[in-house]
Chains A and B, each alone.
Chain A
Amino acid sequence: MSAITKSPFYENEVVLSFFDTLIYGRDLELLNGNHWLNDQIIGFYNEYLEKFAYADQRTDIALVHPDVVFACLSVDATSAAEITKDLKLSEKKYVFMPVNNNGNVQEAGGTHWSLLVYHRPENSFFHFDSWSENNLPNARDLAGVMGAALGVSDKPAFAQRRDVPQQHNGFDCGMYVMCFSELLCGQYLEDRAVDLSDVTAEFVARKRRKVYDLIIHLREIM
């Protein structure tokens, strides 16, 4: 997707205050064109799905903010449970955690996003990565540290999902994470038959524009 026009917001202007997320002009601009996405945009969409789109099923799901995921990755299991205690993850059936490879790479801030889901009915972690197994080490580290926070008794299984659509460019990984989270919420919570292969390059490009428009829409109604 190419940028249609420059956003009508200043870099440091608050575009939207949405629960725990503050979207500035510079964050919104990441959606306007083929840019890498940051923790604020992914955190916003997680909050939108959990507290807005699926608000009536909040007791079953948690979509954890990427900043909280990162904080958990930098501490031990006991501290991760302490950090997340208000999220009541041990009561949720499905827990979505965006994974960044920040820490395993030299570049500050990371280069790639993927999605780790804890599926309580199957006591399993599933890792969805649109770039082969790029974030597998980070996802394994995260699964290793979240046990106490998730309140698991038996050690959960861990599976790298093989049916994951792959990105064909170097900028959409964050969009893939958001698309996977949304479709999987539909599958888990509404028993909808979901085919992840629906997440094509065109689907992702349309979603990028839709999320941009969603933020503008929420700004107008909230």
Chain B
Amino acid sequence: MSDTENDTKADIKPKIGGGDGDNAAIQLKVVSAEGDEVTFKIKMNTTMGKMKKGYADRKGITNMGKFRFQFDGRPVQDAETPASLGMEDGDTIDVFDEQIGG
């Protein structure tokens, strides 16, 4: 991933957006299987990859390969955005651990 730490911080702001036209901020909840909730305020064109990094920062997760985002029963890709996924204010993203087995 070529995103830098600065990009991440610049795009994910915990403040209330003022509704800047087509790119207004929406609030999304990330909910784990254990029921933990983390709330994000992000722009409609912010990539899910950046939001995943923000989530990892807040949860202290160092390995990005260890968790997955899901929206409406579909795996969420890093390049997707709230706009491309048709997300609305208040929507929930489910987060799951990587599954492994041998």
Interface residues of A (CB under 8 A from B): 11-14, 17, 20-22, 24, 26-27, 35-40, 43, 65-68, 70-71, 74, 82-87, 100-102, 108-113, 170-174
Whether the Cβ atoms of A71 and B65 lie closer than 8 Å is no
B residues in contact with A109, CB < 8 Å: 66, 97-100
Other-chain contact of B33, A37, A38, A74 (Cβ < 8 Å): A74
How many of B's residues come within 8 Å of A, CB to CB?
Answer: 22
B31-90: which residues lie under 8 A (CB-CB) from chain A? 33, 64-66, 68, 70, 72-75, 77-79
How far is it, in angstroms, between the C-alpha of A21 and the C-alpha of B75 when the chains are bound? 8
Whether B78 pairs with A67 at a CB distance below 8 angstroms is no
Contacts A12-B64, A26-B65, A74-B33 hold; do A37 and B73 have CB atoms under 8 A apart?
no
Total A-B residue contacts, Cβ distance less than 8 Å: 90
CB atoms of B99 and A67 under 8 A apart: yes
Known: A24-B65, A26-B65, A83-B72. A37 touches B77 (CB 8 A): no
Which of B33, B78, B102 has a CB less than 8 Å from the CB of A172? B102
- Whether B101 lies near A101 (C-beta < 8 A) is yes
How distant is the Cα of A112 from the Cα of B100 in the complex, in angstroms?
7
Q: Chain B residues with Cβ under 8 A from A174's Cβ?
A: 101-102
Are A36 and B72 CB-contacts (below 8 A) given A22-B77, A67-B96, A71-B94?
no
CB-based nearest A residue for B33:
A74
Cβ of B10 under 8 Å from chain A: no
A37, B101: Cβ atoms closer than 8 Å: yes
Check A100 against B99 for contact (C-beta < 8 Å). Answer: yes
Cβ–Cβ < 8 Å partners of B1 in chain A = 12-14
Q: Which residues of B contact A11 (CB under 8 A)?
A: 65
For A39, the chain B residues whose CB sits under 8 A away are 68, 98-100
Interfacial chain B residues near A171, Cβ < 8 Å: 102
Contacts of A65 in B (CB 8 A): 75
